[in-house]
Amino acid sequence: MTQRNRVRELLLDLQDPRHVARFQQMCGVRGSFPRSLPGDQLERTHNNGSVSGGGEKTSPDDGGEGGTQTAQTRQRTYASTTTTTTTTTTTTTKGDSPSANGTVLANAGVDSVSVPGVENGLSLAGDQGSGTVKPLRKNSLTGDAGHEFLVENRFLYYLFTLGTELGNELFYITFFPFLMWNVDAFVGRRLVMVWVWVMYLGQCTKDVVGWSRPASPPVVKVEMFYNSEYSMPSTHAMSGTAIPFSLLFMTYGRWEYPFPLGLAVALVWSVLVCLSRIYMGMHSILDVVVGFLYSALILLVFLPALDSVDGFVRTCHYAPLLIVTVHLGLGLLSFTLDTWSTSRGDTAQILGTGAGMALASHVNHRLGLLPDTAADRLPLAVGPPAGVLPLGLALTRLVLGVAVLMATRTLMKAAAVPVACRLLGLPPGDVREARRHMGVELPYRYTVYGAVGFNVLFLVPLIFSHTRLS
């Protein structure tokens, strides 16, 4: 066997969903899958690694509007050269599905699925006990809630749930503002620059490679939210690598703490996020490994140039024009890589946030707001005397600031979609259908989250200064 063939076999083996199923089994996750109806009533559909019906499904968007999901959404089949799993499921509509709410009913029955190399990984619905739980959140594209599964190790379930949340929107919308408002705005704005580039390259690479999620069965879908997106590389792994190691790079020498402690925190953070994606059944081992290495490569290239990029954004007279055009152009490019999907909107959202914060950094520098810590005050000691606010004041700032951001998001969202629909001559009644058009989705995400990002670094600190909370 040649070296190329050995490498190919290794990569195929790391992509094998059976390894994901074994890891889940080791961690105490047992799945159950519904029994199919016989005869010509059966139709095999495969929605990016998950077993799902081919009929219409209600698909709420991030604002709560309902919609109809048709067969036009991306339907991808998983093909592995190392294992073949055949599963059938009934094509149903929302009204007649025996498990419309994602719960496997005991009287619906199941077929035991035998997967080579995975022992006792799948359980009957009748065996479910008090440890059964539903997948975390419905599929963001199809509304599919998935099936209940058995959790035998609650500690690992909550630990890996925490790990996967370190790469979700709720974490970003609280962590980045808290860092900027209460700890170090200099580090915060630079960290967002790194995060934007890492996430943008990761999301675009997903759409170019086009690999599906691990097949279910044998994999148990502990999480369903991102199940309709592509899989390679894991952007959770990329973010979970970029954020902690960038923090280590930016803060060591600026803040006083032992390097081994900072390195240990970064490693634990990264490993937890990476393993959580395998535990959730969202990624193969190969997806996670490539995500980690890809993120490390981006950091090696981007971090040495960070001083120059940050200086240009803040001081160059033409920076605002370039910030808007570059981020918007990157968004247009990403929208041409694939058909409509939730990942496409996420990419525009990330770019809008980055553009808004970069513009705010420029405006702050021009107006003399949020000045950087003087060099003669560095390094900063870790503790309240160095400027880290007392907990009560920090939480007050966080609550007030997030409330301003939520109000900004709500107001901008209420205006952006109708305006875009009128400009394109589209009916504004069906928000989800309208947002399938690039001319609606891109400006919607870009303007809404651009305003949110701008207010993180400009409006909210300005409010703090006028309310004596600065």
**Statement: residue 328 has pLDDT above 60:** yes
* 365 part of the active site: no
**Statement: residue 108 has pLDDT above 80:** no
| Residue 214, pLDDT score | 86
Q: What is the pTM of this model?
A: 0.75
Q: Which of 236, 317, 327, 437 is catalytic?
A: 236
- The percentage of the chain sitting over the pLDDT mark of 70, rounded to a whole number, equals 69
Smallest CA-to-CA distance from 337 within 146, 204, 148, 162 is with 204
**Interval 214-241: pLDDT, tens:** 887 788 888 877 777 788 899 999 999 9
In three-state form (DSSP H/G/I as H, E/B as E, the rest C), the secondary structure along 191-257 is: HHHHHHHHHHHHHHHHHHHCCCCCCCCCCCCCECCCCCCCCCCCHHHHHHHHHHHHHHHHHECCEEC
* 466 part of the active site: no
Cβ 148 vs Cβ 134: under 8 Å: yes
| Residue 451, pLDDT score | 92
Which distant-in-sequence residues (6+ apart) come within 8 Å of 133 by Cβ? 148, 149, 151, 157
| Residue 329, pLDDT score | 85
- CA 182 → CA 250, 288, 321, 466, distances in Å? 17, 32, 30, 16
The H or E element containing residue 362 is helix 342-367
**Statement: residue 364 has pLDDT above 60:** yes
DSSP 366-377: HHT-SPPPPGGG
Q: For residue 81, what is the DSSP state? A: S
Question: 89 or 389: whose pLDDT is higher?
Answer: 389
Going by their DSSP bridges, the two strands 50-51 and 57-58 should be labelled as unpaired
**Interval 14-33: pLDDT, tens:** 888 888 888 888 888 887 65
Smallest CA-to-CA distance from 80 within 212, 228, 245, 252 is with 212
Q: Which of 283, 317, 327, 362 is catalytic?
A: 283
